[in-house]
């Protein structure tokens, strides 16, 4: 008999184990619970790691050392804040970081759906006991505070399916097991509570597009989000963004291809990653090269394979942009890309440019002389002591192309540049500006045609010269490379730079923080004066503010933006890299 009972028990247990029972709450995540129709779904899978990274980040420690931080703290009721936090910690029986970690240990998810449907946040605590303890403590503190201030009860208790719901003016919340649900619309909140109570798993994880997107999210993501673009586009939200059309050639050159993809993309993913040395955000869209409009081939290249050249390796590089863009094709296809008003303006500009370039068609002959890769770079300038040295020191900048037919193009662009300098001199003379003097320099295969402003006698050695003395407009030629630069030095450096191999991306942008810091420091006295005038600050306050800005910049290495197509995705990635924090000074053994 006992054997039969034991056998029956085993069969029953096996049946329970193998039956298609609903998933338990402990096994589920927000992907299983939040609605499959979520317009935006956000996930923080490991909040404890994010909290630890943010609260121990080297940048936070450095910011607290700034003079302006101390000044700001002097204006804050820091003692009252610390007492308040300490009181809450005492009531909870744990530090606020530990409480926040315990409250969110299982993950945080959000479903955002607009004002009509509403939004809901789902939090999974370490366990039910911890959640209830934190909930009850914070409820008591809020109610005691309202009572002491003579205010009404902050929470109205209600019941839904025998579960307590706490209502507020803007929404409400409820707890079920280890789950905390916060929402601003009753129906959405109830639907989430139903899934939690019933133990079902019919969430957004069942959405096919979501599954495709989630499969490509890296495990290192601190936060990631799925956006249902098809729903947003169908609702008529931000129609201009999904129209596939830019307002002007500048916008078209920068984001025209992205706008084309947004016309048909069903979803996007956004991934935020933070660690001690790097902060990055990446946005990805589904990408199929054969679905790109023919008029946008100038942006992506044939088959979507257009690649930008790597940035040149030159000293003092402040900013660099390298991209694949067939500007000739963009100009010639303006009728397909822009509205009637913009095309009228472009037709007028084309006529004027044809005159400026001696009858050459701007789209076919001028832009068509270049291969589709281009580079725009800027570098810090240094000035000799002999002068003239401008009072405001601007970075030098240049744009570089590869010529398709170097021999023909070189002669033509030299002539055009010399004519342009003559035009500037005529206009400058009419406005009392200094004149430009032409010079030609040849060094093996390098050829420079440069111009420089002639100083007046009284400013030949000036250290506070006019802003024009930042410029010596020049063109440089070496092999197939053509450079149009704001200074002779810039033209020479960029023309002589080693040929850059193709990168793996369509567009890349880089900003060097240390060089930016030097450029700002070159103009510190001018910036201090401007801050005093605009904000009414004292010199000491302005110097403190700008000094701290320079210190903050010293914590960073660079900022980079990349746009690339591959693996069925169009990805835009923005990344900030930090320098190693300075080593702490050894503690003194004496007071």
Q: What pLDDT score was predicted for residue 582?
A: 52
Buried b (16+ CB within 10 A) or exposed e, 553-567: bebbebbbebbbbee
Classified as helix, coil or strand, 322 is strand
Per the model's pLDDT, the better-predicted residue between 384 and 155 turns out to be 155
Task: Specify the DSSP element, H or E, that contains 581.
Answer: none
Residue 585: is its pLDDT beyond 80?
A: no
Task: Evaluate the CA torsion angle 420, 426, 430, 434 in order and state its sign.
Answer: positive
Q: What is the pTM of this model?
A: 0.87
Q: What pLDDT score was predicted for residue 26?
A: 58
Q: What pLDDT score was predicted for residue 434?
A: 86
Region of residue 78 (phi > 0: left; psi between -120 and 50: alpha; otherwise: beta)? alpha
> Whole-number mean pLDDT of the chain?
89
Nearest to 296 by CA among 330, 248, 322: 330
Q: What pLDDT score was predicted for residue 587?
A: 40
Q: What pLDDT score was predicted for residue 391?
A: 92
Q: Which two tokens stand for residue 92?
A: 């909870």
The mean pLDDT value for 575-580 works out to 91
Per the model's pLDDT, the better-predicted residue between 69 and 531 turns out to be 531
The span from the CA of 107 to the CA of 45, in Å, is 5
CA distances, 44 to each of 464, 547, 555 (Å): 54, 36, 27
Q: Which of 394-408, 423-437, 470-484 has the lowest mean pLDDT?
A: 423-437
Q: Which of 63-77, 102-116, 305-319, 322-336 has the lowest mean pLDDT?
A: 63-77
Q: What is the pLDDT of residues 407-439, one digit of tens each?
A: 999 999 999 999 989 988 998 889 888 899 999
Contacts with 180 (C-beta within 8 Å, 6 or more apart), sequence order:
103, 122, 123, 124, 125, 131, 135, 173, 174
Classified as helix, coil or strand, 216 is coil
- Band the pLDDT of 11: cuts 50, 70, 90: very low
CA distances, 183 to each of 25, 34, 41, 112, 200 (Å): 19, 12, 14, 10, 20
Dihedrals phi, psi of 76, to nearest 5 degrees: -105, 145
The mean pLDDT value for 83-104 works out to 90
Give the count of beta carbons closer than 10 Å to the beta carbon of residue 63: 15
Classified as helix, coil or strand, 339 is coil
Residue 568: is its pLDDT beyond 80?
A: yes
Q: What pLDDT score was predicted for residue 224?
A: 98
Q: What pLDDT score was predicted for residue 304?
A: 94
The span from the CA of 15 to the CA of 26, in Å, is 20
Q: What pLDDT score was predicted for residue 79?
A: 66
Per the model's pLDDT, the better-predicted residue between 236 and 584 turns out to be 236
The span from the CA of 192 to the CA of 198, in Å, is 10
Dihedrals phi, psi of 20, to nearest 5 degrees: -75, 60
The span from the CA of 119 to the CA of 225, in Å, is 14
Residue 10: is its pLDDT beyond 70?
A: no
Percent of the chain with pLDDT over 90: 71
Residue 534: is its pLDDT beyond 60?
A: yes
Task: Evaluate the CA torsion angle 566, 567, 570, 571 in order and state its sign.
Answer: negative
Residue 271: is its pLDDT beyond 90?
A: yes
Q: What pLDDT score was predicted for residue 462?
A: 87
Give helix 524-535 / helix 539-553 axis angle, nearest 10°. Answer: 120
Contacts with 205 (C-beta within 8 Å, 6 or more apart), sequence order:
29, 31, 32, 211, 214
Percent of the chain with pLDDT over 70: 92
Per the model's pLDDT, the better-predicted residue between 387 and 58 turns out to be 58
Residue 139: is its pLDDT beyond 70?
A: yes
Dihedrals phi, psi of 439, to nearest 5 degrees: -150, 150
Per the model's pLDDT, the better-predicted residue between 47 and 587 turns out to be 47
Q: What pLDDT score was predicted for residue 77?
A: 67
The mean pLDDT value for 119-140 works out to 96
Q: What is the pLDDT of residues 37-68, one digit of tens each?
A: 999 999 999 999 999 999 998 888 888 888 87
The mean pLDDT value for 556-580 works out to 94
């Amino acid at each position: 008999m006992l054997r039969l009972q034991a056998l029956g028990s085993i069969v029953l247990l096996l049946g329970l184990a193998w039956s298609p029972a609903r998933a338990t709450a402990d096994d589920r995540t927000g992907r299983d619970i939040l609605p499959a129709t979520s317009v935006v779904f956000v996930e923080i899978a490991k909040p404890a790691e994010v909290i630890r990274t943010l609260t121990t980040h080297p940048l936070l420690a450095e910011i607290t050392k700034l003079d302006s931080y101390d000044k700001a703290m002097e204006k804050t009721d820091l003692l009252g804040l610390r007492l308040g936090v300490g009181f809450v910690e005492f009531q909870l029986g744990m530090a606020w970081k530990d409480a926040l970690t315990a409250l969110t240990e299982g993950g945080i998810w959000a479903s955002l759906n607009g004002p009509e449907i509403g939004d809901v946040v789902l939090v999974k605590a370490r366990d039910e006991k911890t959640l209830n303890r934190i909930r009850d403590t914070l409820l008591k503190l809020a109610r005691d505070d309202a009572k002491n201030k003579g205010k009404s009860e902050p929470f109205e208790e209600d019941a839904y399916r025998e579960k307590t719901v706490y209502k507020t003016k803007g929404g409400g919340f409820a707890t079920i097991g280890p789950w905390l649900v916060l929402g601003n619309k009753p129906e959405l909140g109830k639907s989430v509570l139903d899934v939690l109570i019933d133990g079902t798993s019919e969430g957004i994880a069942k959405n096919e597009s979501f599954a495709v997107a989630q499969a490509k999210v890296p495990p290192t993501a601190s936060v990631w989000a799925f956006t249902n673009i098809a729903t947003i586009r169908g609702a008529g939200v931000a129609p201009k963004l999904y129209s596939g059309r830019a307002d002007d050639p500048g916008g078209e050159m920068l984001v025209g291809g992205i706008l084309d993809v947004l016309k048909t993309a069903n979803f996007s993913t956004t991934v935020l990653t933070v660690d001690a040395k790097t902060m990055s955000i990446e946005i990805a869209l589904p990408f199929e090269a054969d679905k790109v409009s023919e008029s946008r081939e100038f942006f992506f290249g044939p088959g979507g394979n257009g690649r930008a050249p790597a940035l040149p390796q030159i000293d003092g590089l402040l900013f660099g942009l390298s991209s694949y863009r067939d500007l000739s094709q963009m100009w010639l296809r303006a009728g397909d890309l822009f509205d009637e008003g913009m095309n009228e303006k472009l037709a007028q500009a084309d006529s004027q440019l044809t005159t400026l370039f001696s009858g050459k068609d701007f789209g076919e002959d001028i832009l068509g002389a270049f291969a589709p890769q281009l580079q725009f770079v800027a570098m810090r300038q240094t000035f000799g002591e002999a002068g003239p040295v401008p009072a405001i020191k601007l970075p030098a900048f240049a744009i570089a192309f590869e010529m398709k037919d170097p021999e023909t193009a070189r002669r033509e662009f030299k002539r055009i540049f010399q004519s342009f300098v003559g035009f500037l001199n005529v206009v400058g003379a009419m406005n009392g500006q200094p004149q430009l003097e032409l010079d030609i320099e040849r060094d093996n295969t390098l050829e420079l045609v440069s111009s420089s402003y002639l100083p007046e006698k009284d400013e030949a050695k000036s250290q506070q010269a006019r802003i024009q003395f930042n410029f010596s407009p020049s063109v440089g030629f070496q092999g197939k490379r053509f450079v149009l630069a704001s200074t002779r030095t810039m033209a020479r450096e960029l023309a002589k730079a080693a040929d850059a191999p193709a990168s793996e991306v369509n567009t890349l942008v880089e900003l060097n923080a240390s060089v930016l810091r030097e450029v700002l420091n070159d103009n510190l006295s001018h910036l201090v004066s401007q801050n005093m005038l605009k904000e009414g600050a004292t010199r000491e306050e302005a110097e403190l503010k700008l000094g701290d800005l320079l210190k903050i910049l010293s914590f960073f290495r660079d900022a980079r933006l990349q746009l690339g197509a591959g693996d069925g995705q169009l990805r835009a990635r923005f990344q900030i890299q930090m320098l190693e924090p300075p080593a702490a000074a050894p503690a003194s053994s004496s007071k």
